[in-house]
Structure 1
Amino acid sequence: MRTVNEVSKLSGVSIRTLQYYDKIGLLHPTDHTEAGYRLYDDTALAKLQQILLFKELEFPLSEIKRILECADYDENKALSQQIRLLELKKERLERLIAFACGIKRIGVKRMDFSAFTTERIQAYAEEAKAAWGHTPQYKAFEEADVKRSQNDRRLMMTELMAIFRELGQLKDGAAEEGEAQLWVKKLKGYITENFYECTDEILRSLGTVYACGGEFTENIDRAAGEGSAKFAEKAIQAYCDRRSEN
């Protein structure tokens, strides 16, 4: 048996919180000392671990209580579900980290619309204007974009994805040489001509975000085939590495 103070130190849960869990019926102590202090056995500690896992996944306490009190509650099944949810959270965090690193490298909010449908372009542009309207890259994009029609924007997306499709057809070969490198050069030129000046530094960062997961990867892979985004990223990094050596 462990005292409430020992459980608090072991779990990082405050004594006040453990008292509250007892009050609402979420986690009762196993027993009490003669002086009335709460005591917890290993079964109670195991339940506390389940509670903390559900809390980490942002379940409200009332829902956690309902789940744990359910007659057909399966601890192993719940743990498997918790593991999967935590994996998904980890994947999302990794995508956000890659996204943020890409922005940091570029120095501006990226104006790569390949991951967006044409219907979302305007909303994204408004957001970017509010946050980054003072940057040269955004001003250049805005000046050009104001003259474009919806059909123009749709054509740009089609042409951009066509480049990724060409890269995708080469994914079973070498990304570091030959035709793949020619298509990376075309991609860089297309971005510069239609969006903003695509320096090698910006291109390298775009390669990272293309393959980091989420909508960017999904849209490229949908257009060009599974694995195309990662192949494009590999080809882009090789292109930029070669140029930095010269």
Structure 2
Amino acid sequence: MTMKVKEVADLVGISVRTLHHYDEIGLLTPEETTESGYRLYSEGNIETLQQILFFKELGFPLKQIKEIINSPSFDRNEALQMHRKMLLEKRKRLDQMIQTVEKTIQHMKGEIQMTNKEKFEGFDFSHNPYEQEARERWGNQAVEKANKKLADMSKEERSNFEETFNSIYRKLAEIRHMAPESKEAQVGIQEWYEFLNKMGHYSLDAFKGLGQMYVDDERFTKNIDQFGEGLAQFMCKAMAVFAEKNKA
């Protein structure tokens, strides 16, 4: 059974224009388009749309969502399990906040006394660990794509790539003793970010996660520190600063 675009829009609670846009960019192509131009969506399209909205909730850009759901390694069940963990964590926080609201009402009526600590129970401004896990899981698609692109390069292209790669690292090594948030450090890290995105697609969170890997994985640390001792640690901090600054 197929559904028309207006029916899908009403079912999901999004606009018809949004569905048209998803079709235009190749993110969600309807199962069939009639001679009259009507888009008809299948059950499979509906399932794909659910996944798209799941990743939008995580903050992924549409371009990256397209790469993820079209990847041969994408596992829909894995994505749903991740979504479930996130919702359970969110429900736990909401239950705590509801209790805080109820206790605050009683406190205002003079029925109970609340400590300052109790007034903020349920508030959690730290990063959702499951959200970070999801970002790291699917952010790895960028690494896989970059490796494939590198493998497909000609000898000359690979030589130019290595020359640019080494040049960026040498420049970063020269300023590794500066503060990671300094202008010089951020200019150098931006060059590294732009270089990586020529090879694949790195979200800001994936870029930050990659920097963390530089210090968590001793193999990365050893290779990077060949350009200068402490470079891996410097890049990790500078990449984190860059990611957070550019989210604003």
TM-score normalized with structure 2 length? 0.43
More contact order relative to length (CA 8 Å, sep ≥ 6): 1
- Which structure's CA Rg is the greater one? 1
